[in-house]
Amino acid sequence: MNFTDLYERAKSVLNPRQLSKVADAGGVGAALLTESGNVYTGVCIDTACSMGFCAEHAAAAAMITAGENRVMKMIAVGWDGQIMPPCGRCREFVSQIHDDNLDTQVMVAENVIVTIRDLLPHGWL
């Protein structure tokens, strides 16, 4: 699967909406391609007290629930369709759930692909 297909999968789950007075969801969608060729998607959940989580975390949780943890490619897309690089928390999270995920390819902007290792050049382990 190429990044164009992965972009479309991430964009397809976008559904910005208000959940309550203090929470909204769906403004960012993410898609992760695993070693076995499966794609897992997720959306962000934002809360007033910062207990929400990113779209990449939601997609990774679905992947882990399904018994996988090796990410080959990942992408996140904002409500306006713009590609977004993962935040530091997401970079670190994905790097820790499989030893080889430092080599995960991440599209951080149109036609710009880097690895998690590139995004985390000075690992703490």
- What pTM value is reported for the model? 0.95
Residue at 55 is within a domain: yes
Residue at 35 is within a domain: yes
**Alpha-carbon span 40 to 33, nearest angstrom:** 7
For position 97, which CATH number holds?
Answer: 3.40.140.10
Give the Å distances, CA to CA, from 86 to 22, 56, 90, 119. 24, 8, 6, 9
pLDDT digits (tens, 9 = 90+) for 28-81: 999 999 999 999 999 999 999 989 999 999 999 999 999 999 999 999 999 999
**Alpha-carbon span 77 to 122, nearest angstrom:** 26
The whole-number pLDDT of residue 123 equals 80
Q: What is the average per-residue pLDDT within 101-119?
A: 97
Checking if the pLDDT of 125 tops 80, the result is no
**Alpha-carbon span 24 to 119, nearest angstrom:** 28
The tokens of 42 are what?
């997720």
Give the Å distances, CA to CA, from 1 to 23, 67, 105, 118. 34, 20, 12, 22
Residue 107 in contact with residue 3, Cβ under 8 Å? Answer: yes
Residue at 64 is within a domain: yes
Tell me the pLDDT of the chain averaged across its residues: 96
pLDDT digits (tens, 9 = 90+) for 13-30: 999 999 999 999 999 999
Residue 48 in contact with residue 114, Cβ under 8 Å? Answer: no
The whole-number pLDDT of residue 124 equals 76
Residue at 92 is within a domain: yes
Helices 88-96 & 55-65, crossing angle to 10 degrees? 20
Domain coverage including residue 95:
3-119
The domain total for the chain is 1
pLDDT digits (tens, 9 = 90+) for 82-94: 999 999 999 999 9
Residue at 109 is within a domain: yes
